[in-house]
């Protein structure tokens, strides 16, 4: 098996000289994320034709070459199911790869399958079996075993070949640009890049809270986000989501209220009680103009006949284009169209603009009132 293990800056510089000249580079990572907010990178794999590199991030100090590669517009970076890899790159390198192509998305665009694993896609396209024995390895341990290195190298050795096969099919169907556009969305809305003040909007049950309670929840969620980032621990290791919602609903303004109500665990009370009370007082004293708008919940049942009609349109378009139906639309997209129609004018959600508009969006709008 052909690959080079890189554990020093000089060797990395030599590898980058090769990669920066390549029009396409296959990219994969191995990382750990057991009890941390950020993913912890254990290995970076790069493939350029017959040249493959395993880069040890625990031994590298100069990351400038990798950053230059990831940001070079002339080099296409190819990944498979790369959404979590994007969080790795953002935290580790401080940048995101561009341009980007995800072979899992390409497979869905070609109707091969939706959300296919790398192993299954390689088996389908290349008729090769990839061992799974090292999937749960400790990639932060050193030294890595020969078995780990071989397993990791296969991820880019086959990914490079896989891309060439998928690219040819996409070009024949004039869909390469569609896949590139869809792949670029992997770098958007990363969970670890959320603005702390916006974190509360990801929680459920907001329509049950008043503007004042929402302000308290906003402050609590932002506090939790910053603590999780600073300590590099999962959000719920700071405060459970259920605790946030309970505190917001009760609008705690004193230590006595907090203790008497038994609203949070003793651990949370001990660690963050003072901060929770201070945030409650801050929310209480906030000017009305600073409060979030009340969230209006839409409890109107979705018309089942319309939903079934739109689902059939998606199925028909999926068959006509040979694209996985899950890639064309999600249930919430169809519900959004129906709800906008209930308000007087059917509209496509933002997620159905771009290539989806002609393929499935316009047929959906045409069918909504048939």
Active-site positions read: 28, 30, 85, 151, 155
> For the chain, what is the radius of gyration of the CA atoms?
24
Provide DSSP, 317-350: HHHHHT--HHHH--HHHHHHHHHHHHTTS----G
Distances (CA, A) of 294 to 213, 252, 291, 349: 10, 19, 9, 22
> What whole-number distance in Å separates Cα of residue 106 and Cα of residue 24?
16
Contact 122/104 with Cβ under 8 angstroms? no
* Residue 88: closest CA among 140, 33, 143: 33
- Tell me the three-class secondary structure of 127-182, residue by residue: CCCCCCCCCCCCCCCCCCCHHHHHHHHHHHHHHHHHHHHHHHHHHHCCCHHHHHHH
> What whole-number distance in Å separates Cα of residue 106 and Cα of residue 128?
19
- Compute the Cα dihedral for 244, 250, 251, 252 and give only its sign: negative
Could you tell me where the DSSP H helices lie in the chain? Answer: 9-19, 64-71, 83-93, 103-109, 118-126, 146-172, 176-184, 211-231, 235-238, 241-250, 255-261, 266-285, 304-321, 325-328, 331-342, 355-356, 362-367
- Compute the Cα dihedral for 236, 237, 240, 243 and give only its sign: negative
Q: Is 24 exposed, middle or buried (0-12, 13-18, 19+ CB in 10 A)?
A: middle
> What whole-number distance in Å separates Cα of residue 109 and Cα of residue 105?
6
Distances (CA, A) of 298 to 254, 284, 343: 34, 28, 12
């Amino acid at each position: 098996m052909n690959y080079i293990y890189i554990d020093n800056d000089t060797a990395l510089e030599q590898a980058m000289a090769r990669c920066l000249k390549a029009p396409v580079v296959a990219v994969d990572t191995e990382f750990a994320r057991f009890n941390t907010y950020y993913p912890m990178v254990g290995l970076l794999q790069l493939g350029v034709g017959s040249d493959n590199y395993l880069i040890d991030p625990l031994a590298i100090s100069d990351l400038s070459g990798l950053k230059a590669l990831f940001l070079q517009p002339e080099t296409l970076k190819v990944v498979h199911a790369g959404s979590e890899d994007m969080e790795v790159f953002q935290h580790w390198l401080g940048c995101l790869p561009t341009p980007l192509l995800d072979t899992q998305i390409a497979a869905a665009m070609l109707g091969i399958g939706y959300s296919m694993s790398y192993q299954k896609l390689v088996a389908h396209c290349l008729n090769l079996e990839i061992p799974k024995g090292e999937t749960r390895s400790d990639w932060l341990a050193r030294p890595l075993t020969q078995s780990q290195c071989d397993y990791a190298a296969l991820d880019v050795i086959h990914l490079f070949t896989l891309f060439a096969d998928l690219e040819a099919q996409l070009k024949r169907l004039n869909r390469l640009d569609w896949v590139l556009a869809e792949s670029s969305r992997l770098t958007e809305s990363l969970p670890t890049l959320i603005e702390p003040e916006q974190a509360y909007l990801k929680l459920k049950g907001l329509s049950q809270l008043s503007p004042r309670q929402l302000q308290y929840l906003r402050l609590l969620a932002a506090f939790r986000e910053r603590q999780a980032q600073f300590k590099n621990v999962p959000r719920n290791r700071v405060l459970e989501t259920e605790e946030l919602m309970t505190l917001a609903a009760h609008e705690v303004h004193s230590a006595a209220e907090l203790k008497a109500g038994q609203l949070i665990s003793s651990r949370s009370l001990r660690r963050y009680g003072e901060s929770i009370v201070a945030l409650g007082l801050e929310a209480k004293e906030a000017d009305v103009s600073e409060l979030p708008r009340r969230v209006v919940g839409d409890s109107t049942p979705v018309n089942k006949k319309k939903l079934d009609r739109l689902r059939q349109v998606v199925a028909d378009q999926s068959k006509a284009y040979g694209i996985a139906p899950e890639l064309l639309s999600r249930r919430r997209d169809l519900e959004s169209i129906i709800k906008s129609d209930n308000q007087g004018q059917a509209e496509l959600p933002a997620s159905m603009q771009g290539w989806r508009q002609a393929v499935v969006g316009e047929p959906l709008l045409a069918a909504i009132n048939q």
